[in-house]
Amino acid sequence: MIAAIDIHYKETYAKAVCVVFNWEDETPQQIYTDIITEVEPYIPGEFYKRELPCIVKVLQQVPLDTLEAIIVDGHVFVHNDKKYGLGGYVWEAFDKKIPIIGIAKKSFIHTEKVATPIKRGSSESPLFVSCIGIDKETVLDNIKLLHGSHRMPTILKLVDSISRTEIEAS
């Protein structure tokens, strides 16, 4: 199983969503959500400090021993010298035991050695894929297996969409 995570920030809270699926699934096997009311402020260049606690919190619900990898919306590395991006910090947070795959819509300067552009569907705009703890070629092959005929795979669109929905009043 693979876990894909996305966080959406609202005015007074963040909503963390994790969907668990197999590579070719159109719909997730399981969906986990969590609301985080104490969110770190955004600091340019240190986005992981805001995002990482939310990721850790939602993953507390997931049986981690069932995961082949975790997909984050972002980069594993932000520079060819392997300076960590969000994915690298997630890798460290889980004691380097769960492979991390970063899928980003935009590239960083000086990441051509650590992020691979991959085109999906008929889009001319690539996704930028990086990873740690897993073979890059395996990841790239599996990204092509993800369901959907567009640039963004169906499952990743879904996790983004769920993260953006308002929480229901109880």
Give the mean pLDDT of 14-28. Answer: 95
pLDDT at 167 over 70: no
User: How is domain 2-164 classified at the architecture level of CATH?
Assistant: 2-Layer Sandwich (3.30)
Predicted local distance difference test score (pLDDT) of residue 123: 86
**How much of the chain exceeds pLDDT 70, in percent?**
98
- The pair phi, psi for residue 107, each rounded to 5°, is -90, 160
Task: Find all residues with CB under 8 Å of 35, minimum gap 6, and list them.
Answer: 13, 14, 15, 16, 167
Q: Is 11 left (phi over 0), alpha (psi -120 to 50) or beta?
A: alpha
Mean pLDDT across 40-52: 87
pLDDT tens sequence across 82-114: 999 999 999 999 999 999 999 999 998 899 999
Identify whether the C-beta of residue 48 lies closer than 8 Å to the C-beta of residue 55.
no
The answer, yes or no, to whether residue 170 has pLDDT greater than 70, is no
What residues contact residue 92 under an 8 Å CB cut-off, 6+ apart? 84
Q: What percent of the chain has pLDDT over 90?
A: 81
Average of per-residue pLDDT across 15-32: 96
Listed by start position, the domains of the chain span: 2-164
* Band of residue 115 on the pLDDT scale cut at 50, 70, 90: very high
